């Protein structure tokens, strides 16, 4: 199925959807009122991404800088390899023991050492080398300078686009009890109904049970 979707591409999927809608209209299955409301059932596809301020993201940045230095033949002033590996292990141990203050202290030292390596690589890169690794260098800079309140965070160097799922704003959203408003834009907010917060009306129950849904493929 995956190979078939790759063959037809996005344009082929649009044509298939148009043919399906046309067939539904021809048979009378789809009426004019059916286009007034669309129920979209979204699913989260797991990806290998890390928390934007976690030590694992710094580790990815550090590995990217070492690969760039090796590819361009750059001799680093100091790689901090042993200190970085020791710091990663200490941070994981403190986090597992719920010693968050100690973990945060180690995290700051890791960020500092990664910044040293990154600036050393950037200083010794030629213009041609910077052009070849421009994307990785810019993403690494964002990963090291972003904070909790930064908009458009970098969650991963190899998949920076995972932050945004869709640009459409829904009129009503049904979420589970773990939802805390993360990712919500107050200027483009929609009605959010949390599971178990209140009883649903008959109209909402009918919409949730509606078979005319756009399922993720």
Where are the alpha helices (H) located in the chain, listed in sequence order?
A: 2-27, 55-72, 81-96, 100-124, 127-132, 134-145, 202-208
pLDDT category at 30 given cuts 50, 70, 90 is confident
Read off the pLDDT of each residue in 73-98 and give the average, rounded to a whole number: 92
Q: What are 89-101's pLDDT values in tens digits?
A: 999 999 889 999 9
Read off the pLDDT of each residue in 49-70 and give the average, rounded to a whole number: 83
CB 58 within 8 A of CB 111: yes
Q: What are 162-216's pLDDT values in tens digits?
A: 544 444 555 666 666 655 555 555 555 556 666 666 666 777 666 666 544 444 4
* Domain locations in the chain as residue ranges: 55-163, 165-217
Q: Quick one: what percent of the chain has pLDDT higher than 70?
A: 64
φ, ψ of residue 45 in degrees (nearest 5):
-90, 120
Of 75-79, 151-155, 202-206, 212-216, the range with the highest mean pLDDT is: 75-79
Residues near 156 by beta carbon (within 8 Å), at least 6 away in sequence: 47, 48, 49, 50, 57, 60, 162
Q: What length is written for the chain?
A: 217
Residue bearing the bigger pLDDT, 152 or 20: 20
Give the DSSP letter of residue 45. P
Here the contacts of 27-32 (C-beta below 8 Å, separation 24 or greater) are 30/212
**3-class state of residue 124 by DSSP:** helix
CB 5 within 8 A of CB 13: yes
63: pLDDT strictly greater than 50: yes
Residue bearing the bigger pLDDT, 41 or 126: 126
Surface-to-core class of residue 132, CB atoms within 10 Å of its CB (0-12 exposed, 13-18 middle, 19+ buried)? middle
Read off the pLDDT of each residue in 146-157 and give the average, rounded to a whole number: 76
Residue 10 is encoded by which pair of tokens?
């996005």
Spatial distance between the Cα atoms of 94 and 16, rounded to a whole number of angstroms: 53
Q: Quick one: what percent of the chain has pLDDT higher than 90?
A: 31
pLDDT number for residue 216: 43
CB 208 within 8 A of CB 200: yes
Residues near 132 by beta carbon (within 8 Å), at least 6 away in sequence: none
């Amino acid at each position: 199925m995956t190979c078939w979707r790759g063959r037809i591409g996005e344009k082929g999927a649009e044509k298939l959807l148009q043919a399906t809608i046309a067939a539904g209209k021809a048979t009378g299955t789809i009426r004019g009122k059916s286009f007034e409301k669309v129920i979209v059932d979204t699913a989260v596809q797991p990806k290998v991404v890390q928390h934007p301020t976690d030590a694992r993201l710094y580790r990815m940045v550090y590995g990217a800088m070492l690969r760039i230095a090796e590819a361009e033949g750059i001799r680093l002033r100091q790689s901090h390899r042993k200190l970085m590996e020791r710091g990663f292990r200490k941070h994981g141990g403190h986090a597992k023991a719920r010693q968050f203050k100690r973990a945060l202290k180690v995290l700051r030292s890791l960020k500092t050492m990664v910044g040293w390596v990154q600036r050393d690589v950037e200083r010794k890169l030629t213009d041609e080398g910077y052009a070849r690794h421009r994307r990785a260098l810019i993403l690494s800079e964002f990963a090291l300078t972003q904070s909790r309140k930064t908009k458009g965070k970098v969650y991963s160097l190899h998949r920076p686009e995972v932050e945004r799922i869709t640009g459409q704003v829904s009129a009503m959203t049904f979420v589970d009890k773990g939802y805390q408003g993360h990712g919500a834009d107050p200027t483009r907010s929609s009605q959010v109904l949390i599971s178990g917060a209140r009883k649903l009306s008959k109209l909402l129950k009918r919409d949730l049970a509606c078979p005319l849904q756009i399922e993720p493929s």
